[in-house]
């Protein structure tokens, strides 16, 4: 088996992985591995922007209060303060890296998203993530201390004497198993929207890092809090997100009776927290198609502010300047994940995590819009800071493993798993449905174990990871007998006082 020693191993090439790699490259050699092309990430799809207090009419207290309110009692206040107070300097850092944010008269333009009490979303028109990736990938490719490995799929963390010391990886182009050895491992593998039949997430989002960390003994937290985005458009190539900033700029949700309905659900109407809007759309869909209408704005404004969304919809035969957009809710963001502290440390020595695969405590029961790109930058920088301590350590020995590769496929199992989890562990949950899902997941797991007897490959590992995570998610959702944030139990529709008290005691 080939061995590749580096000072640091970073898994994932979204904003968290790229930012970590760029920082770690100042401390030593870095292997940056990613399972597809470098641009394949949730980051590259991000639309709305990055939340940061930049206006004189805004304040840290207000951003903190909005984050805590949307997090519905479960945020870690210290982590939220850490996130919010570092935001302005991180925006400057991104600009210094070459990210071109949209400006007006030389000043960064700030837009609005749900749950924010003021305009504080820094953006690059409606394709913020693609602009961030472009700039960061250019930097990483030019950095002599970073070696990039595309089409390399991380299977498992290598542990020696309880410490992380690398990862077993499939080179999927050459069909080879490699071991990457390092002083510290950084998981930046993103979210897991692909668990669900309907999602805004690209194909890479299969929760590999979370499942890998769990197998290695890391603590996972808050998995029941899956955020569903209310407005996705079902297009020819799957679901396509219609950014919340469309509602931030005045877009209105319209029900089957051709009338706005959000005033029936929340005083903030179309800009209510995302979980409330998603459940409202889900309920209204039972009466017929829900649409998002921004045709009252001028065509020039719409095309200028939302060029990517406009062009994509045009390609689907919808002119958003003239007609409302049919929308549906879909799985969007994992609020929970690998538990880390403010330095991005997990409970396993030398194993770090940052970005969407983590639970840092900043999101609680529901994420405030545009806080996740921010979280990824703030916490990947914290990882780099902590890794300064590793300069004097040595890389461990090459471990033995007994993995073989197979070409077996499991597409049928995957699509039925995605359908069941959407139906039973989705926007609205009940004890019965969750239990039925768990019975089914066990069957799928037994089938996977049979396939694993022949060997492993990328798609089988992804399915195994998704079923592991789906099972943990359903168990967490079953245990939480209350409705809070984006976890809604129709058999326990209220928040439990006991939880409120528990949280107050923790603070
Ligand atoms: P990602 O960007 O998803 O990167 C994960 C990387 O890990 C990928 O390169 C992937 O290939 C790699 N990887 C995964 N598993 C493996 C493996 N086993 N081996 C090797 N590599 C692996 N958030 C905001 O704050 N503002 C927004 O406006 C916004 N808009 C969004 C719009 C859409 C459509 C979506 C889907 C999300 C949006 N989000 C937004 C959320 C945000 O984009 C993500 O939370 C954030 O980009 C996560 O960054 P990350 O670096 O943690 O993960
Ligand atoms: C959006 O643009 O609606 C997505 C924003 C986010 O997920 O934070």
Task: Kindly give the confidence (pLDDT) of every residue in the chain, 507 residues in length, as a single tens digit, with 9 standing for 90 and above.
Answer: 567 789 999 999 999 999 999 999 999 999 999 999 999 999 999 999 999 999 999 999 999 999 999 999 999 999 999 999 999 999 999 999 999 999 999 999 999 999 999 999 999 999 999 999 999 999 999 999 999 999 999 999 999 999 999 999 999 999 999 999 999 999 999 999 999 999 999 999 999 999 999 999 999 999 999 999 999 998 888 899 999 999 999 999 999 999 999 999 999 999 998 999 999 999 999 999 999 999 999 999 999 999 999 999 999 999 999 999 999 999 999 999 999 999 999 999 999 999 999 999 999 999 999 999 999 999 999 999 999 988 666 666 666 667 899 888 887 899 999 999 999 999 999 999 999 999 999 999 999 999 999 899 999 999 999 999 999 999 999 999 999 999 999 999 998 865 555 555 554
CA 141 to each of CA 166, 381, 493: distance values in angstroms, whole numbers, following the listed order? 22, 19, 50
* CATH 3.50.50.60 domain extents, the chain: 2-152+335-390
Q: Do 384 and 23 touch, CB atoms closer than 8 A?
A: yes
Atom of ligand 1 nearest to the CA of 123: 28
Question: How far is Cα 360 from Cα 86, in angstroms, rounded to an integer?
Answer: 15
Atom of ligand 1 nearest to the CA of 244: 28
Four-way CATH pick for 404-507: 1.20.58.100, 3.90.550.10, 2.60.120.20, 3.60.9.10: 1.20.58.100
Predicted TM-score of the model (pTM): 0.96
Tell me, in angstroms, the distance from the centre of ligand 2 to residue 49's CA.
Answer: 7
Which residue lies with its CA nearest to atom 46 of ligand 1?
Answer: 43
Four-way CATH pick for 2-152+335-390: 1.10.3720.10, 3.50.50.60, 3.30.360.10, 3.20.20.70: 3.50.50.60
Which residues have any ligand 2 atom within 6 Å of their CB?
A: 47-48, 243-245, 333, 369-370, 372
Question: How far is Cα 78 from Cα 85, in angstroms, rounded to an integer?
Answer: 11
Atom of ligand 2 nearest to the CA of 333: 7
- The second-level CATH assignment, the architecture, of 231-331 is Alpha-Beta Complex (3.90)
Question: How far is Cα 368 from Cα 361, in angstroms, rounded to an integer?
Answer: 12
Matching residue, tokens 């109407």: 269
Tell me, in angstroms, the distance from the centre of ligand 1 to residue 484's CA.
Answer: 24
pLDDT score for 507: 44
CB contact set of 332 (below 8 Å; sequence gap of 6+): 193, 199, 200, 201, 227, 228, 229, 241, 274
Active site residue: 274, 429, 484, 489, which one?
A: 274
For residue 441, the 8-state DSSP code is H
Which residue lies with its CA nearest to atom 4 of ligand 1?
Answer: 14
Pocket mutation for ligand 1, best pick of 22, 42, 213 (most atoms within 8 Å of C-beta): 42
* CATH 3.90.700.10 domain extents, the chain: 231-331
Tell me, in angstroms, the distance from the centre of ligand 1 to residue 34's CA.
Answer: 12
* CATH 1.20.58.100 domain extents, the chain: 404-507
Ligand 1 pocket check for 204: Cβ under 6 Å: yes
């Amino acid at each position: 088996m080939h061995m590749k020693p580096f000072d640091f191993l970073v898994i994932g090439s979204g904003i968290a992985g790229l930012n970590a790699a760029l920082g770690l490259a100042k401390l030593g050699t870095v292997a940056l591995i990613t399972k597809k092309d470098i641009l394949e990430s949730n980051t590259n799809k991000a639309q709305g922007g990055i939340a940061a207090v930049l206006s004189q009419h805004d304040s840290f207290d207000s951003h903190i209060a909005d984050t805590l309110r949307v997090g519905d009692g479960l945020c870690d206040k210290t982590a939220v303060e850490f996130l919010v107070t570092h935001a302005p300097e991180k925006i400057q850092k991104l600009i210094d890296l070459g990210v071109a944010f949209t400006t007006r008269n030389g000043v960064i333009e700030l837009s609005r998203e749900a749950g924010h009490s003021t305009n504080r979303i820094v953006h690059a028109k409606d394709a913020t993530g693609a602009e961030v990736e472009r700039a960061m990938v250019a930097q990483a490719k030019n950095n002599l201390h970073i070696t990039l490995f595309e089409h390399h799929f991380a299977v498992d963390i290598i542990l020696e004497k309880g410490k992380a010391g690398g990862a077993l990886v499939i080179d999927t182009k050459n069909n080879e198993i490699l071991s990457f050895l390092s002083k510290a491992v950084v998981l930046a593998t993103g979210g897991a929207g692909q668990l669900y039949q309907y999602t805004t997430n690209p194909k890479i989002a299969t929760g590999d890092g979370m499942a890998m960390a769990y197998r290695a003994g890391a603590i996972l937290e808050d998995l029941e809090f899956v955020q569903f985005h209310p407005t996705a458009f079902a297009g020819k190539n799957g679901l396509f997100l219609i950014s919340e900033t469309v509602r931030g700029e005045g877009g209105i949700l319209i029900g089957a009776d051709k009338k706005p309905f959000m005033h029936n659900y929340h005083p903030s109407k179309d800009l209510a927290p995302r979980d409330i809007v998603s459940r409202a759309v889900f309920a209204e869909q039972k009466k017929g198609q829900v649409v998002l209408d921004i045709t009252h704005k001028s065509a020039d404004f719409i095309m200028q502010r939302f060029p990517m969304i406009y062009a994509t919809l045009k390609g689907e035969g919808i002119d958003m300047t003239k007609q409302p957009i049919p929308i549906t809710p879909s799985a969007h963001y994992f609020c929970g994940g690998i538990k880390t502290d403010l330095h991005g440390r997990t409970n396993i020595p030398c194993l770090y995590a940052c970005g969407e695969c983590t639970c840092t405590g900043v999101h609680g029961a529901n994420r405030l819009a545009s806080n996740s790109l921010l979280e990824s930058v703030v916490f990947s920088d914290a990882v780099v800071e902590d890794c300064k301590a590793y300069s004097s350590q040595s890389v461990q020995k090459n471990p033995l493993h007994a993995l073989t590769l197979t070409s077996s496929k499991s597409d049928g199992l995957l699509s039925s798993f995605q359908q069941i989890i959407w139906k039973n562990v989705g926007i609205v949950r009940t004890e019965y449905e969750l239990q039925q899902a768990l019975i089914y997941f066990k069957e799928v797991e037994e089938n996977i174990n049979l396939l694993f007897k022949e060997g492993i490959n990328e798609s089988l590992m992804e399915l195994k990871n998704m079923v592991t995570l789906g099972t943990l998610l359903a168990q967490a959702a079953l245990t939480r007998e209350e409705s809070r944030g984006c976890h809604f139990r129709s058999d326990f529709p209220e928040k439990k006082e006991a939880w409120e008290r528990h949280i107050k005691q923790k603070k």
